[in-house]
Amino acid sequence: MGVELDLHEVDATGEEALVALGEGQFDAVVSNMALMDMAEVEPLMRVATRLLRPGGRFVFSISHPVFNSGHWQWVHEAEDRGGELVETRAVKIWDYLQPSAELGIGIVGQPVQRFHMHCPFGLLLKPAFDAGFVLDAFEEHGSPPGMGSTSGRPHSWSNYPLIPSALIVRLKRAAQHWPPSRRPSTSCSARSTSSAKSISVHARSPTST
């Protein structure tokens, strides 16, 4: 039994193109490991609630906004504790609250660098809450030892299994929409002043349930 898919390619930073996919037509919006590579996330956060039917969900995974985003370093230390060599693996973080866009690599050896956009978690979710989403669930994932293509390398997330490198979030359209918070805040779209280019998204068409 085949499933018919209607494939569209749109820039997920373009609010109008996203709305044109069909307001109130979708049961779910899914984004897998893409938001941190996008020049702006606010348009998608704002629009996703309009694309969904009542009760619809927006599920996305991202590099963990605290431990694997913006300014961070792996820290590997060893100390003699009473004659026993004890190793500690940690992550050092600085300037967390500052949105940023910086060139870097996602995979060792990749031929071209790409921008990584850092948005503190509260700022990432604010436009979604303002648009009428509520946080329904989230999970933090570390890489189990031995997992992944970089396993065995000294610098690999699989050496830090108890520090989550990825975050998965489920947002739900709220039954009642509270007015956006009046609290002034920096916007993560400030990141788009970088020369980061937006690319494309394959959006699923409305599906029957």
Ligand X SMILES: C[S@@+](CC[C@H](N)C(=O)[O-])C[C@H]1O[C@@H](n2cnc3c(N)ncnc32)[C@H](O)[C@@H]1O
Contact residues toward ligand X (CB under 6 A) are 11-13, 32-34, 37-38, 198-201
Closest CB to ligand X among 187 and 198?
198
Give the DSSP H/E element, type plus range, for residue 115. Answer: strand 114-118
CB of 49 to ligand X, least distance (A): 18
Closest CB to ligand X among 6 and 76?
6
CB of 33 to ligand X, least distance (A): 4
Among 170, 183, 77, 80, which Cα is nearest to 130's? 183
- The single-letter code of the amino acid at 97 is L
Largest CA distance in the chain: 66
Closest CB to ligand X among 63 and 159?
63
CB of 163 to ligand X, least distance (A): 20
Helix 42-51 vs helix 121-130: crossing angle, to nearest 10: 40
CA pair distance 176, 132, nearest whole angstrom: 8
CB of 166 to ligand X, least distance (A): 11
Closest CB to ligand X among 8 and 53?
8
